[in-house]
Chains A and B, each alone.
Chain A
Amino acid sequence: MKLIISLLLSIFALSNVNAQDCERIVASCEALLQEDGGSFISDGQVYTAFLDREKAEFKTTFYGGTTYRIAASAGDKENYVIFTIKDPKGNILFSNKNYKNAPYWDFKVIETLPVTVETELDLDLKVTGCAVMLIGFEK
Chain B
Amino acid sequence: MIRKILLPTVAVISCVSLLSSCGDSETQEKNTIDEEVFDPNSSLNTIFDGKIFSIPSPVQTAYLIKSLDVGFDATLLNDNSNVGDYITEYQQALNLGIYGTDLGYSALYEEKNISMKYLNSVEKLTAELGLDAAFDTSFLKRFEENSGDSDSMILLMSDAFKKSDNFLKHANRKSTSALILAGGWIESVYFACELNAKKQSPDIERRIAEQKQSLNSIIDILTEYNKGGSNDTLIADLSDLRLSFDKIIMNYEYAAPETDEEKNKTTFHHTLALDFDQEILNEIKTKLSSIRSNITKA
Contacts and interface: CB of A to CB of B under 8 A. Distances in A.
Interface of A: 3-4, 6-7, 10-11, 13-15, 17-19, 21-23, 26, 36, 41-50, 52, 56-66, 75-77, 80, 87-89, 91, 93-94, 99, 102, 104-114, 117, 125-130, 134-135, 137, 139
B3 interface: yes
Contact of A135 (B9, B54, B166, B217): B54
Contacts of A127: 30, 32
Contacts of B159: 42
A42 B257 contact: no
Given A77-B26, A94-B257, A110-B269, A10 B17 contact: yes
Given A7-B6, A43-B54, A46-B162, A107 B30 contact: no
Nearest to B12: A10
Contacts of B259: 94, 99
Contacts of A117: 54
Nearest to B25: A76
B159 to A, nearest CB: 6
Nearest to A51: B48
B44 interface: yes
Contact of A126 (B2, B13, B29): B29
B56 A114 contact: no
B30 A11 contact: no
Given A10-B14, A58-B52, A60-B56, A107 B6 contact: no
A52 B45 contact: yes
Contacts of A41: 57, 59, 154-155, 158
Given A59-B216, A76-B29, 7 more contacts: A45-B54, A88-B252, A106-B266, A114-B213, A114-B250, A130-B48, A137-B60
**Secondary structure of the A contact surface, majority rule:** mixed
Given A44-B162, A88-B252, A137-B57, A93 B6 contact: no
A47 B165 CA distance: 9
Contacts, number: 196
A3 B29 contact: no
B266 A108 contact: yes
A59 B213 contact: yes
B254 A14 contact: no
B48 A48 contact: yes
Nearest to B29: A75
Contacts of B51: 58
7 contacts: A26-B166, A41-B155, A41-B158, A42-B159, A113-B270, A114-B213, A139-B63
